[in-house]
Amino acid sequence: MPLYQLSINGKKYRVNADAQMPLLWVIRELVGLTGTKYGCGIAQCGACTVHLKGAPVRSCSFPVSAVLNQPITTIEGISNDNSHPVQKAWIDEQVPQCGYCQSGQIMSAVALLRDNPHPSDADINAAMQGNICRCGTYPRIRKAIKRAAATLPKTNGQ
């Protein structure tokens, strides 16, 4: 099995893995960061969303061999003290119910606001459409994204 050197949340990891092994299982099972979730395995639900060089990818459908030297950010790398504006907004709007989809929702929202700090409803729809929440927290997710956006500077991202 090939050896991969990965940078996750600013830390370096060396893992032996099948080239075809999805990044999701590498992160969860080999690295041991379990905040990233398995929901469908076929890029339909967004529970496994992580950032690759800042852009959201569905890690369940992304082979480890395709990561190359791009840095990975998982939910654990957003902030561990819930101080990120998106996390704060998630608390203020009391978004999660069961919480299982929320790592992915937050990763999609963080990426959206980084590129587009003041998204319209249509922008929110487009960015969040790939994330399923079976508990139905969508109304609160929308509110929380707007609340987080309101705390960001008027121009540019963070």
Q: Is 124 in the site for another protein (CB under 8 A)?
A: yes
Q: Is 49 in the site for another protein (CB under 8 A)?
A: no
Residue 31 binds which entry of ligand FES, another protein, none, CB below 5-8 Å type-dependent: none
**Shortest approach of another protein to residue 117 CB, angstroms?**
19
**Shortest approach of ligand FES to residue 132 CB, angstroms?**
7
Q: Is 137 in the site for ligand FES (CB under 6 A)?
A: yes
Q: Is 141 in the site for another protein (CB under 8 A)?
A: yes
Nearer to ligand FES by C-beta: 45 or 109?
45
Long-range contact list for 13-19, CB < 8 A, 24+ apart? 15/64, 17/64, 18/64, 19/63, 19/64, 19/65
**Piece of the chain touching another protein by CB under 8 A; list 31-39, 51-59, 65-73, 148-156:** 31-39
Q: Is 97 in the site for ligand FES (CB under 6 A)?
A: yes
Q: Which residues bind ligand FES (CB under 6 A)?
A: 38-41, 43-48, 58, 60, 96-102, 133-135, 137
